């Protein structure tokens, strides 16, 4: 993504990303990032709790969840979060790039991907 001209911020976990978010939604948390890409094992309850918390913290934030979870679990989670894109592993990088470009029209000095 950096090679495509995007600014990329990396967090070790969803929890560390949440720690960096402003606690007051009026502070513009949704403006911090153009898109957030998560690598989650959504079969794990704690991962789903973090996803729910992130979704509540920054409503409307474009999210892409990359996951190696079972297709049935992905389908259930997709029903609960229809506004979030889920990419089952393995996938082609072009598929991820298409999701990014769908939210970030063109990379700029201010476009930020997490």
Domains in the chain, number: 1
pLDDT (tens digit per residue) in 51-63: 898 888 888 888 8
Residue 46 has pLDDT above 50, yes or no: yes
Cα gap 94→92, rounded to integer Å: 5
Q: Which two tokens stand for residue 58?
A: 């920054």
57 in a structural domain: yes
Per-residue model confidence (pLDDT) at position 66:
92
85 in a structural domain: yes
What is the rounded average pLDDT of the residues 14-34? 63
**Under 8 Å CB-to-CB from 35, ≥6 apart: which residues?**
61, 62, 63, 64, 99, 100, 103, 104, 113, 114
DSSP character for 22?
Answer: -
22 in a structural domain: no
65 in a structural domain: yes
Percent of the chain residues topping a pLDDT of 70: 80
* pTM (predicted TM-score): 0.76
């Amino acid at each position: 993504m950096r090679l495509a001209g995007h600014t990329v911020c990396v967090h070790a976990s969803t929890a560390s990303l949440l720690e960096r978010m402003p606690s007051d939604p009026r502070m513009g948390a949704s403006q911090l990032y153009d898109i957030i890409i998560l690598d989650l094992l959504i079969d794990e309850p704690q991962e789903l709790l973090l996803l729910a918390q992130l979704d509540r913290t920054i409503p409307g934030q474009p999210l892409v969840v990359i996951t190696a979870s079972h297709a049935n679990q992905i389908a259930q989670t997709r029903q609960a979060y229809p506004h979030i894109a889920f990419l089952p592993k393995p996938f082609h990088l072009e598929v991820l790039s298409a999701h990014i470009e769908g939210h970030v029209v063109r990379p700029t000095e201010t476009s930020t991907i997490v």
